[in-house]
Structure formats: structure tokens, C-alpha cells
């Protein structure tokens, strides 16, 4: 039997965080081993419980979460990952990743990610934040380092504006993630 791909699903503080539970479910049903890492802000929108239930793995919510063994959870996840998928990705996490900041479990995993792993980012934010030159500069820097972006989508935003900034549909994100894993396993 082929090895299940390891996906680390990073969930950040966006109103779209609740959609990440459906994404975790889709990825798990697609045959991936999914470990969820939530930022403190993500936990203001959704609790870890749905992710733990859907993936059958503990959810990392802090840099100092402990697990069996001696290796810190964030280091083990970074070492074992085939794909780091951040969905939803806020302007904040995109800026952290572009600038090498590592002040929480998710940003530490991204910085310590094994070199063979891929990085897939699904942004979700206010359209003005997405189009801001600082965000676009950060996106360009990440793309230049090999990060792959899916979205954002256009439509009605939670802030009441119509435009770009919505999380890409979760089935499309899951398809993209599995396609990246299939290509990288060849």
C-alpha cells in the first residue's frame, strides 16, 4: 500500500476559518494524513474539536503543545510534511511567511518546513487588504520562493463589500492540494 501523503493544514484568523473544517474532511477522505495547526486568532472563529474529529489527530494550537516523544510537535510536523496548506491565509500570515517571522506554531512550521515539501496558500481577506502593495509584494516574494497560491475568489465578502478576497471554494483547494501531491510523488 502506498504511503499516505502528510498534509499540514494551517488555519488562520479569518471568518472563512469555519470552511477549513470541510477542507480537512475532504483531504482526509481523499486519503491524506491531515494534521491541523490553528493560530490563536483562528480559534476565535472555530474550535479545534471539529478538526480533531474529522482528521483523527490532535490539533496544534500553540508553539509549546506537547505530545509523546521528545521532538516538539511543530518540528515533527515540519519534518514529516509533504504539503503545508494554509487555508484561509490572512494578510498577517502571508506577511509573516514572506518576512521569515516565526512567532507561533504555524509560522515556525513554515520556516522549518522540509525542503521537499510544497507550500500552498489560499488567501481570504478584505479586497483592499489583498490589493494593498505590501500584501502583493509579500505574495510575489513567496511565489518567487516556490509558494503556490489558489485564489482568492470574487464575490460578497463578510465585510459587506463585493469583490476579490473570498476563500477559493474548498473542493477546488482540495483538488489543487491533491494534484500537487500527485505531481511531487512522481
- Catalytic positions are 159
Distance, CA of 16 to CA of 110 (rounded, Å): 21
Distance, CA of 177 to CA of 8 (rounded, Å): 11
Instruction: Report the run of H or E that residue 28 belongs to, with start and end.
Output: helix 19-29
Torsion angle in degrees (nearest 10) through CA of 170, 175, 181, 184: -130
Nearest to 110 by CA among 77, 61, 140: 77
What is the grid cell recorded at 80? 514529516
Q: How far is CA 69 from CA 66, 72, 73, in A?
A: 9, 8, 9
Torsion angle in degrees (nearest 10) through CA of 131, 136, 137, 142: 160
Amino acid at each position: 500500500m502506498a504511503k499516505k501523503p502528510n498534509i499540514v493544514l494551517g488555519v488562520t484568523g479569518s471568518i472563512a476559518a469555519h470552511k477549513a473544517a470541510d477542507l480537512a474532511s475532504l483531504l482526509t477522505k481523499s486519503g491524506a494524513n491531515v494534521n491541523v495547526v490553528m493560530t490563536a486568532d483562528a480559534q476565535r472563529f472555530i474550535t479545534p474539536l471539529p478538526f480533531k474529529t474529522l482528521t483523527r489527530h490532535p490539533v496544534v494550537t500553540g508553539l509549546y503543545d506537547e505530545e509523546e516523544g521528545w521532538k516538539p510537535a511543530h518540528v515533527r510536523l515540519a519534518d514529516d510534511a509533504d504539503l503545508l496548506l494554509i487555508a484561509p491565509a490572512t494578510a498577517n500570515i502571508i506577511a509573516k511567511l514572506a518576512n521569515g517571522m516565526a512567532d507561533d506554531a504555524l509560522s515556525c512550521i513554515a520556516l522549518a518546513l522540509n525542503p521537499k515539501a510544497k507550500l500552498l496558500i489560499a488567501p481570504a481577506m478584505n479586497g483592499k487588504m489583498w490589493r494593498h502593495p505590501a500584501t502583493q509584494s509579500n505574495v510575489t516574494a513567496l511565489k518567487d520562493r516556490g509558494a503556490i497560491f489558489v485564489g482568492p475568489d470574487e464575490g460578497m465578502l463578510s465585510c459587506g463589500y463585493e469583490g476579490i478576497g473570498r476563500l477559493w471554494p474548498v473542493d477546488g483547494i482540495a483538488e489543487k492540494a491533491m494534484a500537487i501531491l500527485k505531481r511531487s510523488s512522481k
